[in-house]
Amino acid sequence: MSWDPLKLSLEIATIAMMVSLVVGTGLALLMRWRRLPVPDLVDALISAPLVLPPTVLGYYLLVAMGPDSVVGRGWHALTGHDIIFTFTGAVVAATVGSLPLVVRSVRVGLESVEPNLLAAARTLGAGPLRVLVTVTLPLAAPGLIAGAMLGFARALGDYGITQMVAGARIQGIGLDTTSPASIFVYDQFIGNHEAAARNMAIVTTLVGVTILFVANRVTRRYYHRG
Amino acid sequence: MADLAFQLELVRGDFTLQVEETCPPGVTCIIGPSGSGKSTLLATLAGLADVDRGRVAVGSEVWLDRARGVEVPVHERRLSYVFQGLALFPHLNALHNVEYGMHDVPRAERTERALKLLDRVGVKHLAKRKPRTFSGGEAQRVAIARALARSPKLVLLDEPFSALDRELRAQLTALVRDLAGELKVPIVHVTHSIAEVRLLADQVLRIDKGRVVARGAPGDVLAEISDDV
């Protein structure tokens, strides 16, 4: 049995994790901005992927990034490729699914930073960017790490959005066209290849649980370091 | 040698702060009951709290002038602030805490200067240790060293010794007294301790309900009140 589906899923999840960590940290910081209009609505929109059916999200992404959309045309002009039914589409799908989890974790991390420490940094001559880089983010690191790990695990397990946006078979980096692990398990099960479905399911579960376990340990160690 | 001159007014709900004072170089102690506006006053001087109307200047340097639309950002005001909880950065060791305020000092000189400051306050041996390992008195000394690292034009101390025992307080009060003699800048020191006022103050401002109700030499102001402020 080829493990390419798992490798593809790990590639997608790794890139989605990195993108959602950067975008999610930006959104979490934006939500701390005192003058943000209707913050509750912004929060609801960012959290929507947690409650919307994956097919609904997938539909929105298809409309927003399809070959006839502004985003789709712009991406094609820039790279010569489409977003939909490609590796990029799978990354976008996984990123959208994991973003709310990342934002929530980063927000918890940011809220754990004592305001007095930020004030102290300012009185010591640090401008907003230096305060962010040298005090806020290092002290919020447990939240960022937890968010990255949760985002990775969520991206690894995505099925519905990926199926809608990227289709069943995708070409990964250095891989032949194959299915992500989540879709592979379904296809194998439906195709009566139960052993292959079972093996992939077990290994994917082990990888996912291991990542969450490591995330918990790392986060705890950070908090205990004070 | 520049005076601190300020005129500040802010209204927040039931509380109103309305003060107009001048603090010459040396130690000005601010006393008054809890909730009288002492810490708020320090925060407004630093630019950490907004005021409705006001002006803050150190010598000819105007940091805030609401009427003229002048407001120098906190990080551009050359001041040192020792917070009530000290606010040492927990992820940095003592040396890096002190170096944090030295970003305009050439990199090669920072470590040497920071070590000298730690030595000056008697905690050079803590240079490589993080704040969670410090005792109360050690943390206070590191916080003072960090505050001095900016070569400030104004020093603000917000009850920095409140959590210490009497002996440590006496040691650190003596240290601040020495530093005041060296720095020759206005030091505004908020305290509840009459003993600290007697040892440190060149001038005392007594605040109540957001207004200065007495000012003058320590002996004159303290004569009017009991030991409990």
* Residue pLDDT, tens place only, B56-113: 999 999 999 999 999 999 999 999 999 988 899 999 999 999 999 998 888 889 999 9
Task: Give helix A141-156 / helix A4-31 axis angle, nearest 10°.
Answer: 140
Of A120, A125, A126, Cβ closest to residue B83: A120
List of chain B residues whose C-beta atoms are within 8 Å of the C-beta of residue A124:
75, 100-101, 146, 149-150
Q: Nearest C-alpha of chain A: how many angstroms from B61? A: 16
Q: Do A122 and B74 touch (CB under 8 A)?
A: yes
**pLDDT computed for residue A157 by the predictor:** 85
**Which of B99, B93, B176 lies closest to B140, judged by CA?**
B176
Sign for the pseudo-dihedral over CA of A122, A125, A129, A131: negative
What is the pLDDT at residue A223? Answer: 62
> Which residue numbers of B have CB closer than 8 Å to A's CBs?
46, 48, 73-77, 79-81, 83, 85, 87-91, 100-101, 103-104, 130-132, 146, 149-150
Select from A114, A123, A127 the Cβ nearest to the Cβ of B46: A123
Q: Do B74 and A123 touch (CB under 8 A)?
A: yes
Intervals of chain A under pLDDT 70: 1, 222-226
pLDDT digits (tens, 9 = 90+) for B101-122: 998 888 889 999 999 999 988 8
How much is the ipTM here?
0.89
Q: How far apart are CA A92 and CA A77, in angstroms?
A: 18
pTM of the model: 0.83
Mean pLDDT value of segment B34-62: 93
Q: What digits encode the pLDDT tens for the residues B157-211?
A: 998 887 777 777 888 888 888 888 888 899 999 998 888 898 889 999 999 999 9
